[in-house]
Amino acid sequence: MGRNLAKLISYVTSAPLIAIYNMPIICLKEQNCLVASLIAFLFLTFFPVAPIIHDARKGKTDIFVTQRGKRLKFFTLTIINHFIGFLLSLFFKLKVLPLYILCYFTVTLTILVITLKWKISVHTAGVAGPMTFIVLFFGFAYSLLYLLLIPVAWARLKMKAHTRAQVILGAVVAVLVTFLTVKCSEIGTNTLLLEIARN
């Protein structure tokens, strides 16, 4: 029973699904919610997950890609999709989604680099990163969303998919990278506005 619950939690809290769960909040500050939601669904969820499902059906991997050596391919495809989604969200002049996707891009890229040497929890990263974005962009009241990390961490440990260190580091890395991405974006935007004002 415990393992089945852990598996269910792992399914419903995967990073691509968390991306979509947050869209109602993102849409609070998006004028074109339909376009934003479509881009998010395609490039944060559908296209990144499709190759994994395809290979899982053929028996080449499991749905969680637990073997570290098989992650490079899927991480690379995911990063490419994030970059395309980022460019499209800029093209449609969306307000919040570009930075949201950019955070996914930078966190996934960082996780990829770490994964080349050491396995790290994508699940805890996939929760901690987006929740950090929500807190930074929408306010501290949303910090309760971090509580979702508790059942996610339990599930990954219960399934013996990760060690405690891998679960903790996944969350810590995602929080730090998301924070730095948002802050660097703010600095870049302020600098650009300052240059425009000067000219």
pLDDT digits (tens, 9 = 90+) for 155-189: 999 988 889 999 999 999 999 999 999 999 877 55
* DSSP 8-state assignment for residue 199: -
pLDDT digits (tens, 9 = 90+) for 11-69: 999 999 999 999 999 999 998 999 999 999 999 999 999 988 888 888 888 777 777 77
Quote the CA–CA distance of 195 and 60 in Å, as a whole number.
Answer: 52
Burial degree of 70 (CB within 10 A; 0-12, 13-18, 19+): middle
Measuring CA to CA, which residue among 48, 73, 52, 76 is closest to residue 64?
Answer: 52
162-175 in b/e burial notation, b at 16+ Cβ within 10 A? beeebbbbbbebbb
Residue 199: pLDDT over 50 = no
Number of domains, the chain? 1
For the CA atoms of the chain, what is the radius of gyration? 17
pLDDT of the residue at 195 = 46
Compare 199 and 70 and report the one with higher pLDDT. Answer: 70
Measuring CA to CA, which residue among 117, 107, 82, 116 is closest to residue 170?
Answer: 107
Displacement of CA 21 from its chain's centroid (Å): 11
Q: Tokens for 124?
A: 């805890």
pLDDT digits (tens, 9 = 90+) for 123-141: 999 999 999 999 998 999 9
Residue 173 belongs to domain spanning: 2-198
Write down the mean pLDDT value for the chain. 89
Q: Contact at 8 Å (CB) between 178 and 132?
A: yes
pLDDT digits (tens, 9 = 90+) for 71-105: 888 899 999 999 999 999 999 999 999 999 999 99
The alpha helices in 61-159, defined as continuous H runs, are: 71-91, 97-115, 122-138, 149-158
Global pTM value? 0.90
